[in-house]
Structure 1
Amino acid sequence: MLSKSEIKYIQSLFQKKYREAENSYLIEGPKIVDEALKSAGTVVKKIFASTNWVHQHQLLYPQIQMIAAADFELQKISQLKTPNQVVAIVEKPTRLRPDAMPLKSLTLVLDGIQDPGNLGTIIRTADWFGVPQVICSPDCADIYNSKVVQATMGSLFRIPVYYVSVPEWLSTQQTEILGAVLDGAPLKKIKPVKTGILIIGNESKGIRADAARFITQKITIERTGNAESLNAAVATGILLSRLK
């Protein structure tokens, strides 16, 4: 059983200001929690789950406190329409500055990606293509927002994500910088990039001028149909499949 104070504390982590104050966030669902437990760099602080789930996992992870919760309690601490059988509190990792540009790899820079579902899917896509790190502008969605966490499907534990001033960070980089725009060179004519940066802009406004001035190669996904634009996450997947 969960106490009222435990329920209140967990519910407080629904909000960004309390996640920052407590340096913690929530994850939900067997798959994501299992991913977190297996991730060497992820600190799972406490787990609340169905009795069956606790019985199946307690002996495997004796160092982690697991509390059996009733269905109605899990419903109170879940942020999903259909509550999962397990909710965990995870410690936010300490990440001060992005790593130096890794050789033979493509770093992804996100400028104003504000839709949580898009951000989570982009992180998952980056993980699939082996992107070593993701740089976000400060106004991107919070990676610890529940919708972002769910959309990453565990990739959040493998890819470091940094929030920095994009123009300031780009100004320090001595490498090829590609920007996804509407008036760029056709993607099919662009060769794979061994070392470089790919900038993806806001879903409706694109890459802002203060970041766009650092672009050394504008690229675009040629349209053959009638849709006005592509979803940012879909566009990222198409671009990475060509550039990586």
Structure 2
Amino acid sequence: MVVKNQIKFIKNLYQKKYRIQHGMFVAEGMKAVSELLNSHFRAHKIYCTDTESFKKFDVEVQQITENDLKKISGLQSPNKVLAIFKIPTPKIVDHNDWILALDDVRDPGNLGTIIRLCDWFGVHNLVCSLNTVDCYNPKVLQATMGSIARVNIVYNDLTVFLNSAQCLVYGAFMGGANVYDEELPERGILVMGNEANGISEKVTQLITKQIAIPQFGEPTTESLNVATATSILLNEIRRK
């Protein structure tokens, strides 16, 4: 049985200020929890309807009913398990490969998808501006489908980070050079901007080269979704 103080503690972790306060976050679903348990993330406690799948892990496991799981879950249809993990200390960003940087991306679904794209394309370091949505937001975690376990995510002032960059910095702009005509290097930084406003002026000043995805259809679409654009640009970077 899940008692009231446990319910309150878990529900609080759905809010960023309490995640920061306790240094913990909530993950739900068999795939996401399993991916995190098999990574460098350290689990604090697991609540599940069937403990058999988690006996091999060195972590406290509490068996609960489906009704109790609904009480603590943030999902409309809870999926067997909810786990509390400790927020890890980010690793030092490795500049020997491509790095993706996000300038104030606010939508949880977009960030979650971008983290999955980093995992897919082998981009191991993701640098987020301080105003980018929290990667431990439950909606972000659901969208990552466990990929957050394999991507080093660092929050930093982008101007400070880019000022110290030791490689070329590319930024996605509507009026940039056609990315398909570019000779892309083996390492660099790709900056993607906010959903509504693109890359901010202060960050734009630190961009080495502005690039764009050419439009082939009728010019009726204002711009691509930031996650969609990221997928196309990362594909081109790896293809080259």
Letter in 1 for 2:197: K
Displacement after TM superposition at 1:156 (Å)? 1.0
User: Residue 4 of structure 1: CA displacement?
Assistant: 1.5
Structure 1 match to 2:80: 85
* CA deviation string 1:8-27 (max 9, x = no partner): 11111111111111100000
Q: Please list the CA deviations of residues 160-201 of structure 1 after superposition, one character each: whole Å capped at 9, or x if unmatched.
A: 111111011101112111000011111211234301000000
Matches of 1:177 and 1:81, distance apart in 2: 41
Corresponding residue of 1:43: 42
4+ long deviations beyond 3 Å: none
Q: Deviations over 1:62-112 (max 9, x none)?
A: x211111111111111111211210000000012x74241x2x11001001
Counterpart selection for 2:155 from 154, 163, 186: 163
User: What secondary structure, in the 3-state scheme, does the structure 1 residue paired with 2:27 have?
Assistant: strand
Does residue 30 (structure 1) correspond to residue 27 (structure 2)? The answer is: no
The within-5 A match list for 1:42-191 is 42-50=41-49, 53-58=50-55, 60-61=56-57, 63-95=58-90, 98-101=92-95, 103=96, 105-191=97-183
**1:229: which partner in 2?**
223
Residue identity matched to 1:138: L
Report the identity percentage.
40
In the superposition, the TM-score normalised over structure 2's length comes to: 0.95
Matched, 1:239 2:238: no
Distance in 2, matches of 1:88 and 1:243, equals 36
| Structure 1 unaligned residues grouped into runs of 5+ | none
State the Cα deviation string for residues 125-182 of structure 1 (Å, max 9, x = none): 0111111201100000000100111111111111111111101110111211100001
Partner of 1:239: helix, strand, or coil?
helix
C-alpha distance in 1 between matches for 2:107 and 2:92? 22
| Mapped contact 1:191–1:243 kept (Cα < 8 A) | no
Shift of 1:44: 0.8
**CA–CA separation in structure 1 for the residues paired with 2:221 and 2:89:** 41
Q: Scaled by the length of structure 1, what TM-score is found?
A: 0.93
2:94–2:125 CA contact under 8 A, matched in 1? no
> Which residue is equivalent to 1:205?
197
Compute the RMSD of aligned alpha carbons: 1.2
